[in-house]
């Protein structure tokens, strides 16, 4: 078998363009996911019966179905139901937001509930309203405990973007697939794609380590 690694260099600009789209979907998707997940997680932890039930239904619906089915639904079924054309990039971002949000909700809930009840009582006993106890006392403590499981979710979501090949978003895996179809350089191209993913996830890991080191877990 002959390998020719120079093809990697030839197609590097294309691969990097794909990687850029992967990063875009991941960052926007995770920002939305953190927002949605925090709200859903707090609804689960502190909401009344109704808020809790809404958040619970959302989380179970998403965790119980594959992300490929979710994005297919968004891209192919939603236009049928609503009559609106959905852009593949938008479908991809929304899929990450909704999917990561469900997992992050459980992470947020766990982090908040793991903090001793005594601290919340100490805040309330000073005369603080519940929301200030959440924002100023429990929030900063929960945030530190969130970092390790959140890092895990970031990596999972980044890799999940590769599944959007099914709706034709030009992210990294799709780009690799297209280059492959034109020159059949499987070993070189898929190695290059894997290395780029490793660099992306590796940078995330390093960034999270730095944050974790700066914040002692209390």
Partner 1 sequence: MSIIEFRKTSKHFGDLKVLDGVDLSIDTGEVVVLIGPSGSGKSTLLRCINGLEQITSGDLVMDGISVRGGKKQLRLIRQEAGMVFQQFNLFPQMTALQNVAFGPRKVRGLTRTEAEAQARALLEKVGLKDKAGHYPSELSGGQQQRVAIARALAVRPKVMLFDEPTSALDPELKQEVLNVMRQLAQEGMTMVVVTHEMAFAKQVGTRLIFMEHGKISVDGHPREVIENPPSDRLKDFLQHVE
Contact of 44 with 52, CB cutoff 8 Å: yes
DSSP letters along 4-48, please?
Answer: -THHHHHHHHHHHHHHHHHHHHHHHHHHHHHHHHHHHHHHHHH--
Report in angstroms how near the CB of residue 207 gets to partner 1 at its nearest: 22
Nearest-approach distance from CB 111 to partner 1, in angstroms: 14
Nearer to partner 1, 85 or 216 (CB): 216
If the CB atoms of residues 130 and 183 are measured against partner 1, the closer one turns out to be 130
Nearer to partner 1, 206 or 217 (CB): 217
Minimum CB separation of residue 131 from partner 1 in Å reads 11
- Give whichever of 85 and 213 is closer to partner 1, judged by the CB atom: 213
How many Cβ atoms from other residues are within 10 Å of residue 203's Cβ? 11
CB of 126 to partner 1, least distance (A): 4
CA distance 95 to 100: 8
Query: Rounded distance, CA 218 to CA 215, Å?
Result: 9
Q: Radius of gyration (Cα) for the chain, nearest Å?
A: 21
Q: Which residues bind partner 1 (CB under 8 A)?
A: 116, 118-119, 121-129, 132, 136-137, 140-141, 144, 218
């Amino acid at each position: 078998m002959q390998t020719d690694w120079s093809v990697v260099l030839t197609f590097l600009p294309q691969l990097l363009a794909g990687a850029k789209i992967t990063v875009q979907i991941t960052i926007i998707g995770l920002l939305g996911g953190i927002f949605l997940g925090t709200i859903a997680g707090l609804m689960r932890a502190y909401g009344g019966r109704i808020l809790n039930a809404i958040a619970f239904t959302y989380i179970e619906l998403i965790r119980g179905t594959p992300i490929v089915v979710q994005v297919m639904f968004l891209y192919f079924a939603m236009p049928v139901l609503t009559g609106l054309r959905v852009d593949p990039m938008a479908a991809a971002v929304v899929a990450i937001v909704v999917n990561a949000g469900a997992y992050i909700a459980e992470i947020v809930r766990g982090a908040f509930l793991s903090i001793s009840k005594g601290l919340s009582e100490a805040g309330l006993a000073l005369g603080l309203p519940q929301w200030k106890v959440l924002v100023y006392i429990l929030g900063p403590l929960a945030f530190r405990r969130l970092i390790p499981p959140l890092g895990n979710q970031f990596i999972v979501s980044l890799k999940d973007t590769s599944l959007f090949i099914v709706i034709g978003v030009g992210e990294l895996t799709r780009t690799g697939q297209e280059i492959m179809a034109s020159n059949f350089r499987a070993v070189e191209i898929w190695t290059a794609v894997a290395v780029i993913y490793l660099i992306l996830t590796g940078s995330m890991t390093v960034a999270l380590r730095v944050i974790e080191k700066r914040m002692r877990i209390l």
